[in-house]
Amino acid sequence: MIGSPAPDFTLFDSAKNQVSLHSLKGKKVILLFFPFAFSSTCTRELCYVRDNLSQFNNVDAAVLGISVDSLYTLAKYKEDQGFQFTLLSDFNKEVSRLYNAIYENWNYNMKGVSKRASFVIDRKGIVQYAQVLVNAGDMPDFEAIEASLAAIN
């Protein structure tokens, strides 16, 4: 996937607006797939982004958090945690599958849960970094994400 065009998509955000990847061309984009709002590791991951958002903003990067939660759940999660970046609902699991970032079978007999995965997309829409984690308890490699962002002009 690295070096290839990022698969385009359109999803609803937590404020019920449609967001398309192609509308962000010209910006650096970080896609952060995560299993579930309100879970411990997901909250730790997204609070890291919240607490370091200025460094992503300083390099002209848009952060998009994506999970299979409903947009209503994501709205409550965003409000409770004070996230100032976009959360997108992949309720139909289409985008998680496009990025090969899905557990078809997961804990407690749940089917179709986003894996913890991160992608950095350059201003032309090309994937420059990709990490899909097998263990949902692991955190993304934010140092590698930041290095990838820094390497993009």
Angle between helices 40-51 and 71-81 (to 10 degrees): 60
For 74-104, what is each residue's pLDDT tens digit?
999 999 999 999 999 999 999 999 999 999 8
pLDDT lower than 50: segments of the chain = none
Amino acid at site 35: P
For 19-32, what is each residue's pLDDT tens digit?
999 999 999 999 99
Given 42, 46, 68, 74, the catalytic residue? 42
Please report, for the chain, the start and end positions of each structural domain, with discontinuous segments joined by +: 10-151
Distance CA 131, CA 120 (A): 9
Reading the block at residue 152, the tokens are: 């993009």
Q: Is 47 marked active-site?
A: no
Tell me what pLDDT residue 3 has.
Answer: 95
CATH superfamily of 10-151: Glutaredoxin (3.40.30.10)
- Alpha-helix residue ranges (DSSP H) falling in the chain: 40-51, 53-57, 71-81, 94-98, 142-151
Tell me what pLDDT residue 109 has.
Answer: 85
